[in-house]
Amino acid sequence: MTLEPAFIYVTIALLAFATYFISRPSMKDTNTAMLRQLVSQSKKIQEQDDRIHALELERDACNYQLSFVQSQLAFFSSRVAQQIDIDFTVDFNWQAELRRLIKRYLDETAVETIAFDLEINDLDDRNFETITRDLLKKANAQNKIPALMSWLERERPDIVWTDTVEENENRQKE
């Protein structure tokens, strides 16, 4: 363990100060008490320095473990995505149908709530059509289509969000 230069200088100064007082014969008892007090304080400072060092080592170990877990999570997430082989960005018809479903079964406030919940900011708010289109475009760009689908299924379980508008209307008529 390395000692900080400031700690060494303070210790030397305290010992010099204590030596000065010990050398004065009239204050021998006072000097001895002060020396004991200085030695005690020096030991406490050293113990605190040792505890700080131990905590720093523990923090470094925790940071290492955290980075390892994060790398493993990223690795397995990419593996799962490859195994599932889902690509929401390719199917234009699917996006168009989802946009139609959202326009049919949700209102502007619900779409704004989705954007807020999914942390999708700065939607183009000229009208409901542009808000819906912008929500889908930004959700797709931020890889949040699965979260969007989860939100839709949770909030409106009566709608099958992977079907067309017509299929949903026929189902509701039955």
Question: What is the structure's pLDDT at 90?
Answer: 42
Cα four-point dihedral sign 130, 135, 136, 140: positive
Residue 62 has pLDDT above 70, yes or no: yes
Measured between alpha carbons, how far is 114 from 155 in angstroms, rounded to an integer? 10
pLDDT in tens, 151-167: 888 888 888 877 776 77
Question: What is the structure's pLDDT at 82?
Answer: 55
DSSP, collapsed to helix, strand or coil, labels residue 134 as helix
pLDDT in tens, 9-50: 777 777 777 676 666 555 566 667 778 888 888 888 888 888
Contact 95, 102 (CB under 8 A): no
Structure confidence at residue 89 as a pLDDT band (50, 70, 90): very low
